[in-house]
Structures are given as C-alpha cells and as structure tokens.
Amino acid sequence: MTTDKLMSETQAIRASFNEAIPQGVIFNLREIQKWKILNIPMAKKLIANRELEVVKIGNKLHISRAVLIEYLVSNTIAAVA
C-alpha cells in the first residue's frame, strides 16, 4: 500500500470518528461508556498502562475528544478488500 493511500485512509477514518463523537472538549468515563466506545474497566486499564492520556478533575477521570479520536484511529485495522 502506498503512503498516499494510507494517509488518505487514515484521514477518512479520522473524519468518520470526528462526525461520530459528540462535540466537546473533555468527557468523563461514564459518557464514553454510554456512547459504547469504551467500557469503564477497559478505559481504566488503558489509563493504567498509559495508553490513554487523561485529565483528572477532583477524583474523576476525563479524556479529551482529541485523545479519544487519536486512540480510535491508531487502533483501527483496515479491512482487506
């Protein structure tokens, strides 16, 4: 696969996630679970393994929209046509 085609697919994937995820700056784990993107236990595991960057406000964990989209893009496996 050429670099241009790969970049084009990545941009298309990012655009689809950008449309699918509600607008906002940061989301708590309950919101992300409600949208069926990540379950809370899995999100906490990714946070503990430092695979997701979080913002801690008080005792609640929040994930920025940009980090969430980047995580989803980097963990998307393209279908073989």
In a domain, 80, yes or no: no
In a domain, 39, yes or no: yes
Q: Which domain holds residue 25?
A: 3-74
Give residue 51's pLDDT: 93
Give residue 78's pLDDT: 76
In a domain, 67, yes or no: yes
In a domain, 79, yes or no: no
Give residue 1's pLDDT: 57
- Quick one: average pLDDT of 2-13? 74
What span, in angstroms and rounded, lies between the C-alpha atoms of 52 and 65? 11
Tell me the angle at which helices 3-20 and 65-74 cross, rounded to the nearest 10 degrees: 140
Give residue 39's pLDDT: 96
Rg (CA), the chain: 14
- Quick one: average pLDDT of 62-79? 90
The total number of structural domains that make up the chain: 1
- Half-sphere exposure (Cβ direction) of 2: Cα atoms closer than 13 Å: 3
